[in-house]
């Protein structure tokens, strides 16, 4: 059994959180509130030390006055709290939207639209490996059928009916995969906690 007090604190807090499985109780509430408080404290100190100090206050202290521009832009966000000068908040928001749009729109098109379209299109190279070729055809059918399912400008009758039915099947397979992976993720987290309790705390496993 471990003699490190931090391991004991971690183990007891884990058990307090697990006690919610029985019912809501003061031990669970204590651990929950402690977590929120510690997390807030951590973030405030972390951002002060690692973001505001090195990126703003230290350069300003060294006489680099150009850093007054981001300081002013940041302070303008707080203008929302004073109705008379509330309009000032539009300046940093406009700046952020302009910068964000300029940086992101071309990148989004390239990475998420063109590249994904390229991955869906079948070319002779897709069949260099038979299995890859079969998957390429399945992906193309899946994409088209799923898009048809979400096409609501025309009633799903005639050819649109079976195609959209096939589309919903692909969507269901996607949901199934997501559900399976989610179950696996949640079980993994439980296994991690049990490994902590049985390993570092009780020393029963390696």
Partner 1 sequence: MPQTQRLFDFVESIPPDDKVVMISFDYTPQTMPECHPMAIALLKHCFARNIPVLGLSFDPQAPGLAVEAFETVVNELNRKASNYDDSLFYGKDYVYLGWKSGFTAAVLDMGESIAGVFPRDYFGHPVDSLPLMQKTKNYKDVAIAIVLSASAYPEYWVLYPQSRYGVKIGAGLTAVMAPKYYPFLQTGQFSGMMSGMKGAAEYEHLIVEKGYTKKLGRAETGMNSQSIVHLLIITIIILGNIGFFFSRRDRKQS
* Host H or E run for residue 69: helix 68-76
Residue pair 197/11 in contact (Cβ under 8 Å)? The answer is yes
Indicate whether 44 belongs to the interface with partner 1 (CB under 8 A): no
Give the separation between CA 152 and CA 154, rounded to whole angstroms: 5
Question: Is position 64 an interface residue for partner 1 (rule: CB under 8 A)?
Answer: no
Q: Is 43 in the site for partner 1 (CB under 8 A)?
A: yes
CA atoms in the 13 A half-sphere facing the CB of 68: 5
- Single out the residue of 25, 40, 64, 110 in contact with partner 1 (rule: CB under 8 A): 110
Figure out which of the listed residues 95, 108, 127, 151 binds partner 1, where binding follows CB under 8 A: 108
The secondary structure of 176-197 as a DSSP string is HHHHHHHHHHHHHHHHHHHHHI
User: In terms of C-beta distances under 8 Å and separation of at least 24 residues, what long-range contacts does 182-187 make, across chains too?
Assistant: none
Please say which residue, 6 or 152, places its beta carbon nearer to partner 1: 6
Quote the crossing angle between the two packed helices 5-18 and 26-47, to the nearest 10°. 120
Q: Distance between CA 51 and CA 44 in Å, rounded?
A: 10
Q: Give yes or no for residue 103 binding partner 1 (CB under 8 A).
A: yes
Q: DSSP E strands: which ranges in the chain?
A: none
Q: Which is nearer to partner 1, 52 or 85 (CB)?
A: 52
Provide the token pair at 101.
């749009």
Which H helix or E strand runs over 74? helix 68-76
Nearer to partner 1, 85 or 93 (CB): 93
Site string for partner 1, 174-203 (x = CB under 8 A): x--xx--xxxxx-xxx-xxxxx--------
Q: Quick check: 129 binds partner 1 (CB under 8 A)?
A: no
95 lies in the site for partner 1, by CB under 8 A: no
**Near partner 1 by CB under 8 A, which window of 57-65, 82-90, 106-114, 159-167?**
106-114
Q: Which of 111, 134, 137, 202 binds partner 1 (CB under 8 A)?
A: 111
- The Cβ of residue 159 has, within 10 Å, a number of other Cβ atoms equal to 9
Kindly state the smallest distance separating residue 33's Cβ from partner 1, in Å: 17
Q: Residue numbers of the site for partner 1 (CB under 8 A)?
A: 42-43, 46-47, 50-51, 55, 103-104, 106-108, 110-112, 115-116, 118-119, 135, 139, 174, 177-178, 181-185, 187-189, 191-195, 205
């Amino acid at each position: 059994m471990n003699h490190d007090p931090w391991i004991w604190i971690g183990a007891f807090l884990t058990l307090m959180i697990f006690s919610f499985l029985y019912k809501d109780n003061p031990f669970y509430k204590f651990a929950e509130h402690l977590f929120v408080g510690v997390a807030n404290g951590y973030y405030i100190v972390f951002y002060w030390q690692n973001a505001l100090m090195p990126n703003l206050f230290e350069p300003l202290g060294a006489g680099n006055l150009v850093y007054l521009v981001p300081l002013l832009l940041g302070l303008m966000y707080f203008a929302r709290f004073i109705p008379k000068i509330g309009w000032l908040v539009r300046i940093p928001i406009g700046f952020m939207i302009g910068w964000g749009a300029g940086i992101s729109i071309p990148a989004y098109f390239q990475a998420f639209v063109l590249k994904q379209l390229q991955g869906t299109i079948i070319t002779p190279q897709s069949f260099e490996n038979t299995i890859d070729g079969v998957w390429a055809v399945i992906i193309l059918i899946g994409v088209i059928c799923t898009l048809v399912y979400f096409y609501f400008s025309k009633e799903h009758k005639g050819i649109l009916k079976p195609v959209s039915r096939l589309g919903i099947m692909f969507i269901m397979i996607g949901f199934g995969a997501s559900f399976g992976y989610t179950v696996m993720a949640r079980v993994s987290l439980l296994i991690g906690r049990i490994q902590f309790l049985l390993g570092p705390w009780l020393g029963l496993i390696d």
